[in-house]
């Protein structure tokens, strides 16, 4: 459905995407993972025909995005990161207009509108001006315009950026539902988000694909240390560190140095960050040690690896 062959894109002398190749089959749900400026948006802009590649080719449903641009664009629904909307139109007028631009006839639009409004749950706001809607609802309007013409390929650029956490959850579940009907590409700089929605992850870093795998394999490949954050009461930090460091699978223990911990410290709570070997039950050992020592366990939870660490690991892995 989507083919990228040695695609490169430069802005002037600046290479935004370098020699990217990928084949995406019909019905696949693929995540582009990478930090800001990695080349995710540029890759999407090439796929949507907004900007032509400097080298190599890209094709949607067999149509080259440069030589058969209009045919390729007919198969795409696209939501840019900035969620561009006409603020002075009502939701219905806007969706109707976007449908017409995608070549839908009146009958088809009339059939689709109620379905779309229902899918993105915009019912009570369908006659509101887009400019009056909150960011989360605008996001839904943006998704609605991308799917109104039932495209084969749906491309969503950072669909959950800048909206509040409750709406993030709703938007994610909405996107997951869409995955069933469309070949879907979404970009994100949040690994758990990609992991929750996508069956395949392309990790993009400095314009190159550094990993192409399913989320589970990616996690395994990362061989990440298990990281636990604990807060305890009734002991000195040095004493706790010494005790926990003796445990078999613990690699490193240090005080949590984030500023918000200072107030905790005033209340006699010691916060520690523990790195341990993965899948060896280190968390249980730590909890047992704390309880057996008679300290109060205030908080214990695993910390996810930060994206920076993932990229560091992937890029050094490639370099080795």
Partner 1 sequence: MRNIQTIAWKEIKTYFASPMAYVVAASFLAITGFFFVASVSDPFAEASIRGYIAGAIFFMVFLSPALTMRLLAEEQKLGTLELLMTSPIREWEIVIGKFIAAFVMLALMVAGTFYFVVVLAWYGDPDIGPILTGYLGVLLYGGATLAIGLMASALSSNQLVSLVVGAGLLTGLTVSNFVADRLTGAAQEIISNFQLGSSFSVFDTSSFGVVEGGHFADFARGIISVTDIAYYVSITAVFLFITVVLLESRRWR
Angle between helix 91-101 and helix 106-119 axes, rounded to 10 deg: 130
Interface pick for partner 1 out of 6, 62, 67, 86 (rule CB under 8 A) = 86
**Minimum distance of partner 1 from residue 29's CB (angstroms):** 21
Q: Which is nearer to partner 1, 103 or 281 (CB)?
A: 103
Applying CB under 8 A, the span of 90-98, 175-183, 211-219, 225-233 interacting with partner 1 comes to 90-98
Other C-beta atoms lying within 10 Å of the C-beta of residue 62: 11
Work out whether strand 200-205 and strand 29-33 pair parallel, antiparallel, or are unpaired: parallel
Give the span between the Cα atoms of 244 and 4, in whole angstroms.
50
Interface pick for partner 1 out of 6, 11, 37, 216 (rule CB under 8 A) = 11
Interface pick for partner 1 out of 17, 76, 203, 282 (rule CB under 8 A) = 76
Applying CB under 8 A, the span of 80-88, 110-118, 172-180, 281-289 interacting with partner 1 comes to 80-88
Interface pick for partner 1 out of 85, 120, 271, 272 (rule CB under 8 A) = 85
203, 187 Cβ separation under 8 angstroms: no
Give the span between the Cα atoms of 316 and 319, in whole angstroms.
5
- Residue 50 binds to partner 1 (criterion: CB under 8 A): yes
Which residues fall within 8 angstroms of residue 293, CB to CB, at 6 or more apart?
235, 243
**Minimum distance of partner 1 from residue 200's CB (angstroms):** 23
> Helix H segments across 183-267?
191-197, 215-222, 237-245, 261-266
Give the span between the Cα atoms of 113 and 257, in whole angstroms.
53
Interface pick for partner 1 out of 82, 134, 173, 217 (rule CB under 8 A) = 82
Q: Which is nearer to partner 1, 86 or 312 (CB)?
A: 86
Give the span between the Cα atoms of 128 and 107, in whole angstroms.
23
Interface pick for partner 1 out of 88, 214, 220, 262 (rule CB under 8 A) = 88
Q: Which is nearer to partner 1, 80 or 136 (CB)?
A: 80
Alpha carbon 240 to its chain's center: 37
- Residue 102 binds to partner 1 (criterion: CB under 8 A): yes
Geometric angle at alpha carbon 116, from 110 and 120, rounded to 5°:
155
**Minimum distance of partner 1 from residue 4's CB (angstroms):** 17
Burial 260-295 (b: 16+ CB within 10 A, else e): ebeebeeeebbbbbbbbeeeeebbebbeebbeeeeb
**Minimum distance of partner 1 from residue 153's CB (angstroms):** 11
Q: Which is nearer to partner 1, 78 or 295 (CB)?
A: 78
Give the span between the Cα atoms of 314 and 203, in whole angstroms.
9
Interface pick for partner 1 out of 5, 15, 27, 51 (rule CB under 8 A) = 51
- Residue 57 binds to partner 1 (criterion: CB under 8 A): no
- Residue 277 binds to partner 1 (criterion: CB under 8 A): no
- Residue 101 binds to partner 1 (criterion: CB under 8 A): yes
- Residue 108 binds to partner 1 (criterion: CB under 8 A): no
Give the footprint of partner 1 on this chain (CB under 8 A).
Answer: 11, 45, 48-52, 70-71, 73-74, 76, 78, 80, 82-89, 93, 97-98, 100-103, 145
């Amino acid at each position: 459905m989507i083919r990228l062959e040695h695609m490169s894109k430069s802005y002037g002398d600046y290479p935004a995407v370098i020699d990217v190749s990928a084949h995406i089959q019909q019905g696949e749900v693929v995540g582009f993972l990478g930090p800001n400026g990695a080349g995710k948006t540029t890759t999407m802009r090439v796929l949507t025909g907004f900007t032509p590649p400097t080298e190599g080719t890209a094709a949607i449903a067999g149509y080259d995005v440069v030589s058969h641009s209009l045919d390729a664009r007919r198969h795409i629904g696209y939501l840019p990161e900035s969620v561009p909307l006409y603020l002075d139109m009502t939701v219905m007028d806007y969706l109707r207009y976007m449908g017409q631009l995608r070549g839908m006839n009146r009958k088809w639009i009339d059939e689709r509108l109620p379905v779309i409004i229902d899918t993105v749950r915009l019912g009570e706001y369908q006659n509101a001006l887009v400019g009056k809607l909150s960011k989360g609802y605008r996001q839904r309007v943006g998704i609605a315009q991308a799917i109104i013409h039932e495209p084969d390929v749906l491309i969503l650029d950072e669909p959950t950026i800048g909206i509040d956490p409750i709406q993030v959850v709703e938007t994610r579940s909405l996107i997951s539902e869409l995955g069933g009907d469309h070949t879907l590409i979404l970009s994100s700089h949040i690994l758990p988000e990609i992991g929750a929605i996508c069956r395949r992850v392309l990790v993009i870093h400095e314009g190159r694909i550094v990993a192409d795998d399913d989320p589970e394999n990616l996690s395994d490949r990362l061989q990440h240390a298990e990281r636990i954050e604990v807060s305890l009461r009734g002991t000195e930090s040095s004493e706790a560190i010494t005790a926990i460091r003796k445990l078999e699978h613990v690699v490193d223990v240090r005080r949590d140095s984030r500023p918000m911990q200072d107030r905790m410290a005033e209340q006699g709570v010691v916060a520690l960050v523990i790195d341990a070997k993965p899948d060896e039950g280190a968390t249980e050992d730590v909890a047992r040690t704390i309880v057996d020592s008679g300290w109060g366990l205030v908080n214990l939870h695993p910390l996810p690896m930060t994206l920076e660490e993932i990229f560091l690991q992937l890029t050094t892995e490639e370099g080795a």
